[in-house]
Amino acid sequence: MTQQYYSIITNNGLLKEAAASSGSPVSLTHIAVGDANGTSYDPAGSQTALIHEVYRTTLTHVAVDEANPNQLIVEGVINETVGPFYIREVGIFDASGQLFAIGKYPETFKPNLPSGSGKRLYIRMILGFTNSPQV
């Protein structure tokens, strides 16, 4: 079965990760979601932004996967009061605001409390690297 949903490190992210191996780790700080203007797409490493970002928040968790040291787990939370919008794309940004990784996300509707149905949404991305990530 072909994998439908996935994340990739952007070209910018690969450059920063390579530079980090010389001693200056990458600081990942934010996660953003977008609706991709209503159409799912396959992310490209050349992207520098989401197609249509609708919300950005601070990451709540960034850690190397204990079971696989070549994977990085990043997480963010979208609270009940935020929305309404659809999510089809997700991005991870570094401290300088540059897109480090991008993911194709299963279409998800994010309601807000005023609509009558609030939902707290936890988003987790698992990023794979050739070597242990330098974050």
pLDDT along the chain (135 residues), means of 10: 88 89 88 98 97 98 92 96 97 97 97 91 89 57
> pTM for this structure?
0.91
Give the pLDDT score at 97.
Answer: 97
The answer to the question of residue 116 being in a domain is: yes
Give the pLDDT score at 86.
Answer: 98
- Split into its structural domains, the chain has a count of 1
Q: Which domain holds residue 120?
A: 7-128
The answer to the question of residue 111 being in a domain is: yes
The answer to the question of residue 134 being in a domain is: no
The answer to the question of residue 1 being in a domain is: no
Which pairs count as long-range contacts for 44-49, CB under 8 Å and 24+ apart, including other chains? 44/102, 45/8, 45/9, 45/10, 45/11, 45/14, 46/10, 46/11, 47/10, 47/99, 47/102, 48/10, 48/12, 48/98, 48/99, 49/91, 49/99
The answer to the question of residue 79 being in a domain is: yes
